[in-house]
Amino acid sequence: MKGHRSEQAASELKIVAGNIQALQPAYLAAMFEEMKIFRVVDTLVDRFQNGLLPIGVGNAGKRLFKYWKDTPMRISEADRRKFYERVFGFPSGSEGGQPNLNFNSLWISFLSSVASFVDSNNFSGVGQAGGNLEQVRKAARDLAKNLSLHGFGIAHFMATELQKVINEVIWILSDPEIRSVYGAQNMWQVVDQVVTLELGLATNTVRYRTMATSGTTIIGWLAKSARKLNGNSPGPILNQHTRHQSPRLGRGKPKANPTDSDLVNARNQWLSVNVIPP
């Protein structure tokens, strides 16, 4: 009986970790939405269709044509925004949604508990460190439960599709021929130019790139640490020697296998662009 319970618990933890991990590309897509990246690619496709983009028959042309051809099968912006609202509580601008009303407060609570642990402990007092660690564990567990609940069912398949679209737009915007048209050194310069010059909109790519990288890293850490979130789990939830590092805004990539240091650094980065001091 004990062995059966252990197997069941392990299976449940695996499901929780999988549900949370599925939301990494969803969060990344939400930040891409704020940077208007999907609209940028739609604009490039439209210009290509109308002969206004000097692109030949190479890889860039093939990718733009494929993106246009697959449009009917792609998740619409309205449906994407409803999805972000349901899993993260981000406003969709449409009525009748079911927003995740608790995500933001749980997210901030978790990041604050991590900061409290790192800032207030010199690790000369075991009792104080242990108390802070339990605050981190509880905040992490509450956030993980919330993400797991909203990463269940169709959310997994939505996130998988969003990852495919993310890969497509990165390939298009990073293509040397596309970058050459705009005299850009990287995809972000293409995005900035199209958003400001062709769409006539404001953009803040540094902020949302930072949130994309740090947010997906934080979610990845929660998925990786699912087993440690149980109050009966042996060992600390965070390494007691973890320290802050200065934020590097708008740089880097989400960590595939985040360490405790990656979590703390991601926390600093996310808060630094959201007007909340680290």
The predicted-structure confidence for 245-276, as pLDDT tens digits, reads as follows 555 554 556 667 899 989 999 999 999 999 65
Report the number of distinct structural domains present in the chain. Answer: 1
In this structure, is residue 28 part of a structural domain? yes
| Per-residue pLDDT, 228 | 82
d(CA 251, CA 11): 36
| Per-residue pLDDT, 2 | 47
Q: Pick left, alpha or beta for residue 277 (phi over 0 → left; psi -120 to 50 → alpha; otherwise beta).
A: beta
Instruction: Average the pLDDT over 90-112 and give the result.
Output: 89
In this structure, is residue 143 part of a structural domain? yes
In this structure, is residue 85 part of a structural domain? yes
* 233: confidence class by pLDDT, cuts 50, 70, 90: low
Helix 77-88 crosses helix 126-150 at what angle (to 10 degrees)?
Answer: 140
Residue 162 CA from chain centroid, whole number? 12
d(CA 119, CA 59): 50
Give the CA diameter of the chain: 69
Instruction: Average the pLDDT over 104-118 and give the result.
Output: 92
* 174: confidence class by pLDDT, cuts 50, 70, 90: very high
In this structure, is residue 80 part of a structural domain? yes
Task: Check pLDDT > 80 for residue 54.
Answer: yes
Q: Count the Cβ atoms, other than its own, within 10 Å of residue 201.
A: 11
List, for residues 119-160, the tens digit of each pLDDT value: 765 443 444 445 578 888 899 999 999 999 988 888 889 989
In this structure, is residue 78 part of a structural domain? yes
In this structure, is residue 249 part of a structural domain? yes
Q: Are 75 and 160 in contact (CB under 8 A)?
A: no
Burial 43-52 (b: 16+ CB within 10 A, else e): bbbebbeeee
Q: Dihedral sign for Cα 270, 271, 272, 278, please.
A: negative
Q: Are 210 and 252 in contact (CB under 8 A)?
A: no
Q: Are 86 and 150 in contact (CB under 8 A)?
A: yes
Tokens of 83: 């999805």
In this structure, is residue 277 part of a structural domain? no
Domain containing residue 162: 2-272
| Per-residue pLDDT, 57 | 83
Q: Are 162 and 80 in contact (CB under 8 A)?
A: yes
| Per-residue pLDDT, 49 | 92
In this structure, is residue 156 part of a structural domain? yes
Contacts of 136 (CB under 8 A, 6+ apart): 110, 113, 114, 116, 117, 237, 238
